[in-house]
Each structure stands twice: as structure tokens, then as C-alpha cells.
Structure 1
Amino acid sequence: MIGPFFVECSEHFPNLVFVKIDVDEADELAADCGVSAMPTFQVFDPAKGDELESCKVEELVGASKDKLKELCAKYN
């Protein structure tokens, strides 16, 4: 399961903010972010803009621990 690894990443990469969203409870937010599959991990940079789509810099779809770790390391 990727959930516990997501928590580990949040502890290992202190310069990133990790947020978990339940797409069933926040379906409008999921749609605004373009989430179409689970799990989806997205990286946002607020300096890029005020809208979700304009400040999204990268997205990872799937439960690959190695790819998630690489993504976190890239932006930490």
C-alpha cells in the first residue's frame, strides 16, 4: 500500500507540504485538479500562479514507491 509510504515521505522530505485528499468527499476539488485515477500525486508551485492548473508543475499517477520517492527528491 502506498498510504504508509506517503506518510514516510512526508517525514523524510521536510521542505514539501503533503496533503491527502479523499476524492469521494472532495470530488469538485479532484475535478479542478484533473484527477482521473487513484492514486495521483501532484506537485504545485504557488509562485507559478494563483490557479490550480497554472501552478501544477508535475503529476505522478500510480502507486510506484520508487517514482514517488524520485518525485519528492526532485522538489525537496
Structure 2
Amino acid sequence: MGQCLCSDKGDDDSEQHVEFAGSNVHLITATEVWDQKVSEANKDGKTVLVNFSATWCGPCRMIAPFYRELSEKYPSLMFLLVDVDELPEFSSSWDIKATPTFFFLRDGKQLDKLVGANKPELQKNNCYCRLSG
């Protein structure tokens, strides 16, 4: 599924476990969980920030702590995390070609998309979405 923008998967069998979710970041493990969280955000008038990521992706691991930080800083937003390897068909339906890819959604509609682990752009778009609601 997709490609990491800056690194290869590698062949390390003892794959390092990196905590991608946590704080106010909700891990999406099934399409039903996605539907529930998006519905909850729509009902509460929240903007949704989705991180399509992979545990083997270097830039994904690098941006994960910052993403969690943002989730704590902006509790008025809903932060979701989708592992592209755990939900490959769902990720494909979002046309994910590289990881990480971030989507900004409001009322079920895409406001913006950011490909890559670009902290300044993620921060800028995050503030934009917070203020646009």
C-alpha cells in the first residue's frame, strides 16, 4: 500500500513499535469505527484531521509525536489515525499514494490534503481548520 516519501520498508523482522495513537488521537481499526468517529465529529461540529500512516515509514514515525501534540493543543478538532497496512482497501478508497498523508474534513467534506511529514504546513492547516469552524 502506497509508498513512504523518504524511506524504504526495510527487512527488520523485529519491527520497532512506535506509539502512533494516544492522547486525543483515535486509531481507526475498521470502517465502522471510521463511520462512528466521523459521525460524532459532524454531530459536534468538529473538523476532522486524518493521518494515513504506516508503522514502517520513517517520516510517519517522525511526525507522530507532533501529531499527538496537536491533538492535545486543539481538543476542538478530532484527530484520527489510519494505518494503511491494516486497512488497505479503505486507504485505497482515499487514493493514498504516499505516507504520511493528512486530510482535513468538515461535515464529511474534504477541506484540504497534505502529503508528507511537513510540520509547518500541518500546523498552518490545522489552525486554518480550527478557525474555519
1:34 and 1:10 map into 2 onto residues whose CA distance is 24
Question: Counterpart amino acid of 2:87?
Answer: A
2:95 and 2:110 map into 1 onto residues whose CA distance is 10
Match of 1:13 in 2: 74
Question: How many angstroms does 1:68 deviate by?
Answer: 0.6
Structure 1: state its 5+ residue gaps.
50-54
- Taking structure 1 as the reference length, the TM-score comes to 0.84
Aligned length: 69
Q: Which has the higher strand share?
A: 2
Match of 1:68 in 2: 122
Q: 1:1-76 residue pairs with structure 2 within 5 A?
A: 1-46=62-107, 55-76=109-130
1:27 and 1:72 map into 2 onto residues whose CA distance is 26
Q: Say what the alpha-carbon RMSD is for the aligned residues.
A: 1.0
Structure 1 runs (4+) greater than 4 angstroms displaced: none
Structure 2: state its 5+ residue gaps.
1-61
Q: Which has the higher helix share?
A: 1
